[in-house]
Amino acid sequence: MSAARIIDLRVHGSPRHRRFAESALIGMALVVFTEVMMFAGFVSAFVIVQSNAPARGWPPPGQPRLPIERTAVNTAALLLSGVALWVAGRKFAGSAPRAAEPWMAASLALGGFFVVFQGAEWVALLRQGLTLTSSQLGSFFYLIVGTHALHAFAAILALAWAWYAMRTGRLTRPRLGAVQMFWFFVVLIWPVLYWKVYL
């Protein structure tokens, strides 16, 4: 693919139509809207159940304390991943789109680290007796954090696809924008979940 063609695709997306907004971005915005409301519902239910617990009754007796410190490190990795993707987007829109590739790879690696670290934490918590049916904390923890991990996994697949498309010169700005929007949603909703579920 010629450089001119790459730049044409990168800047204009589909050259056929002049559009107010790309379908990929509108579709992803609608997905993110519904996902935000789903997480808001989960967190709302969790907060109300937690408020019904007796004083000093949270976490419930016999249940382990959630690993706040280690998850803080993981949170920092996820936030850095978001920053790396933001930089990648800026580079891709600039005069040297190839400079975006290492930033994209860094974002992908940090996102992968987050999911793997989260999985290791889960294994440790399961060994300590926190399961889906052990208590209300366990039920909500695996529901909320598990749903987020599923989204993170899906977003990592999207990032990997975008990185590959970038390397082969087939990535357009609207498509990168849609992937960015989904990853930013995964990144930005996590601190809220960490604050409400862990702290």
Quote the least distance from Cβ 58 to other proteins, whole Å: 11
DSSP 195: I
Per the CB < 8 A criterion, the answer to whether 191 and 41 are in contact is no
Provide the minimum distance between the beta carbon of 197 and other proteins in the complex, in angstroms, as a whole number: 14
Nearer to other proteins, 20 or 127 (CB): 20
Residue 191 Cβ vs other proteins, minimum distance, rounded to whole Å: 16
Q: How far is the CB of 137 from other proteins (least distance, A)?
A: 16
Nearer to other proteins, 40 or 120 (CB): 40
Class of residue 127 by CB neighbours under 10 A (exposed 0-12, middle 13-18, buried 19+): exposed
Nearer to other proteins, 53 or 120 (CB): 53
The Cα 61–Cα 128 span in angstroms is 13
Min CB(72)–other proteins separation in Å: 24
Q: Is 56 helix (H, G, I), strand (E, B) or coil?
A: coil
Query: Cβ contacts of residue 193 below 8 Å, gap of 6+?
Result: 39, 43, 144, 145, 148
21 versus 68: smaller Cβ distance to other proteins? 21
The minimum distance between CB 35 and other proteins, in angstroms, equals: 11
How many H helices and E strands in the chain?
Answer: 6, 0
**Distance, first Cα to last Cα, the chain:** 51
- For other proteins, the binding residues (CB under 8 A) are 20-21, 29, 33, 36-37, 40-41, 44, 47-48, 50-52
Q: Which of 12/126 has CB closer to other proteins?
A: 12
Between 12 and 153, CB nearer to other proteins: 12
Could you give the dihedral angle defined by the CA atoms of residues 95, 96, 102 and 107, in that order, rounded to the nearest 10 degrees? 20
Dihedrals φ, ψ of 145, to 5°?
Answer: -70, -35
